[in-house]
């Protein structure tokens, strides 16, 4: 078997069905091997999109997402998606072409050191050869899926694709995470002594799919729950313990709740989304995780690092007799947030546009969001019925995420309704991917909130009492036509126009752009100043 065939077969056997990327010359034997093995090579317009598609494939399927780029500029382009896989905790393997041994340290076209490039943004980076191939490929799969999941880079020297590989058993490079079990007594005492705990649920809990365990716990003890944006969907939003989402629109309303607590319980809470010290009052933190996390000096924090079943065993030690549940406070906060949002639904701003989408789209729609003011709004306002139905990046937070994320969701779930909401700035970063959508006929509905500006940055300028500067995207109209790269553009500048556009977009089984020309004024009132 050749190197290329060995890799393709290993990927297929692990369940991989897509490789995302843009080829260079040395990629050709690999692409041919993928094709023969039953793996489709999905060509993107920019490697950044390929990296993001691999990230989202990894998140949605649990099978590592695979992407590929050529030397130098291909590799640097793809790093945008790889950084995302690292900070949004997603299993990804990225292959890049590297110079052959004899050219590696020479001055030559496209040559940079990929091992150094990927070192800070991956869990591990390897350069493949025929001696290490079996270990590298097999252990990369395990490593990228281990806690926390993340990306692994494998450099493919340009001259090895046709060399022969002997299949042998991997001796493994893998390191397992270590658990800390030495503070059970401290954990139990914190739980027993707390009367007003608040549970903050984060990305790790969502990734581990702990919704049922959480519901069981809340069935035993009524405790307020707040979520980070990437944990949305883990708890139904009508649940009496659901209080709201941290960090996004109107999250300052939650302060009334957590200022009263005597213990913050971080349940699979990943500070990559929002550091504890940025919001918690001066109370102890009890942090349940699968991996030790860094805590700032001065924080009264106790970490319990172990498998999630053990978190819940310990949580059953809460002192039910003395717990005080602020049910009416939670209801008050939720009602107040709802009434503020409702106040913005009668004109065509971002809240009005989102309301039409929520009214018209099936409940189980997969929504992908880009990064900007619109994400802050979606994070709080978009009612999310289950995990996996709202896909965002809040660890890496790269603009341009929404469109490739939607394409990836649609490829993996061909029958799902998939919608991307993006700002116009984020759209422009990935506009070339509209042709990818068309090429693979991915019937994604791309909703562009067109306000002509980088709104979130403009808002931050205004907080400093500075004029808007360097944030204007265009004068007049974004598209200036009713088609873009062969895809229909439906224009909406009113609530009624938006409703008509959404209904039309749902009725055709092809990619569609809705150009929602919104008044961005709402954001000024809804984005929380931090």
Ligand X SMILES: Cc1ncc(C[n+]2csc(CCOP(=O)(O)OP(=O)(O)O)c2C)c(N)n1
Task: Return the bridge partners of 420, or none.
Answer: 368, 446
For ligand X, give the closer residue by CB, 257 or 431. Answer: 431
Taken in order 80, 84, 86, 92, is the CA torsion positive or negative? negative
Tell me the residue number closest to ligand X, measured at CB: 423
265-292 per-residue burial string, b: 16 or more CB within 10 A, e: under 16 = bbbbbbbbbbebeebbeebbbbbbbbbe
Quick check: 249 binds ligand X (CB under 6 A)?
Answer: no
Nearer to ligand X, 273 or 370 (CB): 370
CB 463 within 8 A of CB 373: no
Smallest gap, in angstroms, from Cβ of residue 66 to ligand X?
Answer: 23
Which of 65, 372, 379, 395 touches ligand X (CB under 6 A)? 372
Is residue 371 within 8 A of residue 426, CB to CB? The reply is: yes
Distance CA(269)–CA(22), nearest Å, equals 36
- Beta carbons of 402 and 396 less than 8 angstroms apart: no
Contact range with ligand X by CB under 6 A, out of 55-63, 144-152, 254-262, 424-432: 424-432
The site map against ligand X for 72-101 (x = CB under 6 A) is: ------------------------------
* By CB under 6 A, residue 397 contacts ligand X: yes
- B/e letters for 145-178, b = 16+ CB within 10 Å, e = fewer, are bbbbbbbbbbbbbbebbeeebeeeebeebeeeee
Cβ 447 to ligand X shortest distance, Å: 12
Laid out side by side, the sheet with 242-245 consists of: 242-245, 225-227, 197-201, 263-267, 285-289, 301-305
Position among 303, 373, 384, 387 found at the interface with ligand X (CB under 6 A): 373
Work out whether 367 is an interface residue with ligand X (CB under 6 A): no
Q: Tokens in use for 103?
A: 């050219």
**Helix (H), strand (E) at residue 49:** helix 47-61
Minimum distance from residue 430 beta carbon to ligand X (Å): 10
d(CA 51, CA 48): 5
Q: How many Å from the N-terminal Cα to the C-terminal Cα in the chain?
A: 56
Assess contact for 3 and 154: CB atoms under 8 A. Answer: no
For position 273 contacting ligand X by CB under 6 A, the verdict is no
Residue 454 CB, nearest distance to ligand X (Å)? 4
Work out whether 426 is an interface residue with ligand X (CB under 6 A): yes
Among 371, 442, 446, 502, binds ligand X (CB under 6 A): 371
Report in angstroms how near the CB of residue 453 gets to ligand X at its nearest.
6
Report if residue 399 touches ligand X, rule: CB under 6 A.
Answer: yes
CA angle 139, 140, 146 (to 5 degrees): 90
Least distance from ligand X to the Cβ atom of residue 298, Å = 29
Quick check: 402 binds ligand X (CB under 6 A)? no
Shortest separation between residue 396's beta carbon and ligand X, angstroms:
9
Query: Is residue 374 a contact residue for ligand X (CB under 6 A)?
Result: yes
Going by the DSSP 8-state scheme, the letter that residue 164 receives in this structure is B
Residues 5, 98, 326, 424: which binds ligand X (CB under 6 A)?
424
Instruction: With contacts defined by CB under 6 A, name the span among 128-136, 216-224, 336-344, 370-378 that binds ligand X.
Output: 370-378
Does 48 sit near ligand X (CB under 6 A)? no
Taking CB under 6 A as the criterion, the residue among 57, 398, 412, 515 binding ligand X is: 398
| Closer by beta carbon to ligand X, 306 or else 426 | 426
Number of residues that bind ligand X (CB under 6 A): 19
- Is residue 157 close enough to count as binding ligand X by CB under 6 A? no
Binding positions for ligand X, 446-485, rule CB under 6 A: 449, 451, 454-457
Check: CB of residue 399 under 8 Å from CB of residue 426. yes
Least distance (Å) between residue 160 CB and ligand X? 34
How far apart, in whole angstroms, are the C-alpha atoms of residue 346 and residue 378? 18
Of 266 and 426, the one with the shorter C-beta distance to ligand X is 426
Residue 433 touching ligand X (CB under 6 A):
no
Site residues (CB under 6 A) for ligand X? 370-374, 397-400, 423-426, 449, 451, 454-457
């Amino acid at each position: 078997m050749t190197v290329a065939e060995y890799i393709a077969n290993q990927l297929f056997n692990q369940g991989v069905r897509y490789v995302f990327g843009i080829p260079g010359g040395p990629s050709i034997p690999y692409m041919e091997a993928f094709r023969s093995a039953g793996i489709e090579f999905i060509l993107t317009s920019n490697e950044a999109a390929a990296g993001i598609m691999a990230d989202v494939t990894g998140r949605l399927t649990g099978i590592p997402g695979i992407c590929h780029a050529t030397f130098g500029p291909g590799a640097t382009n793809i790093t945008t998606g790889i950084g995302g896989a690292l900070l949004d905790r997603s299993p990804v393997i990225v292959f890049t072409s590297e110079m052959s041994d004899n050219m590696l340290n020479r001055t030559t076209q496209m040559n940079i050191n990929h091992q150094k490039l990927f070192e800070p943004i991956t869990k591990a980076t390897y350069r493949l050869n025929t001696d290490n191939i079996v270990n590298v490929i097999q252990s990369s799969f395990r490593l990228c899926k281990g806690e926390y999941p993340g990306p692994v880079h494998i450099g493919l020297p340009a001259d090895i694709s046709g060399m022969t590989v002997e299949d042998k058993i991997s001796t493994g490079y893998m390191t397992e995470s270590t658990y800390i079990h030495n503070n059970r007594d401290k954990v139990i005492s914190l739980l027993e002594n707390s009367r007003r705990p608040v549970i903050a649920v984060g990305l790790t809990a969502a990734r581990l799919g702990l919704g049922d365990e959480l519901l069981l716990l809340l069935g035993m003890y009524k405790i307020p729950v707040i979520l980070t944006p990437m944990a949305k969907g883990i708890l139904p939003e009508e649940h009496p313990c659901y209080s709201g989402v941290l960090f996004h629109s109107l999250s300052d309303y939650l302060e009334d709740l957590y200022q009263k607590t005597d213990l913050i319980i971080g349940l699979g809470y990943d500070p990559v989304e929002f550091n504890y010290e940025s919001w918690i009052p001066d109370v102890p933190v009890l942090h349940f995780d699968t991996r030790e996390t860094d805590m700032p000096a001065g924080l009264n924090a106790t970490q319990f690092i172990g498998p999630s079943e053990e978190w819940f065993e310990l949580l059953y030690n809460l002192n039910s007799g003395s717990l005080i549940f602020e049910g009416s406070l939670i209801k008050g906060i939720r009602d107040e947030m709802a009434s503020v949002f409702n106040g913005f639904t009668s004109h065509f701003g971002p809240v009005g546009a989102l309301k039409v989408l929520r009214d018209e789209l099936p409940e189980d729609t997969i929504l992908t969001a880009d990064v900007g003011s619109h994400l802050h709004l979606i994070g709080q306002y978009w009612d999310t019925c289950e995990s996996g139905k709202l896909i965002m990046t809040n660890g890496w937070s790269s603009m341009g995420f929404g469109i490739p994320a939607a394409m990836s969701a649609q490829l993996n779930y061909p029958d799902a309704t998939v919608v991307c909401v993006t700002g116009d700035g984020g759209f422009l970063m990935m506009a070339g991917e509209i042709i990818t959508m068309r090429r693979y006929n991915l019937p994604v509905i791309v909703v562009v909130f067109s306000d002509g500006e980088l709104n979130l940055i403009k808002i931050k300028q205004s907080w400093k009492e500075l004029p808007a500067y360097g944030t204007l995207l265009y004068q007049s109209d974004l598209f200036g036509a009713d088609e873009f790269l062969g895809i229909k553009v439906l224009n909406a500048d009113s609530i009624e126009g938006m409703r008509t556009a959404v209904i039309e977009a749902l009725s055709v089984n092809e990619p569609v752009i809705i150009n929602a020309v919104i008044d961005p004024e709402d954001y000024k009132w809804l984005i929380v100043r931090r």
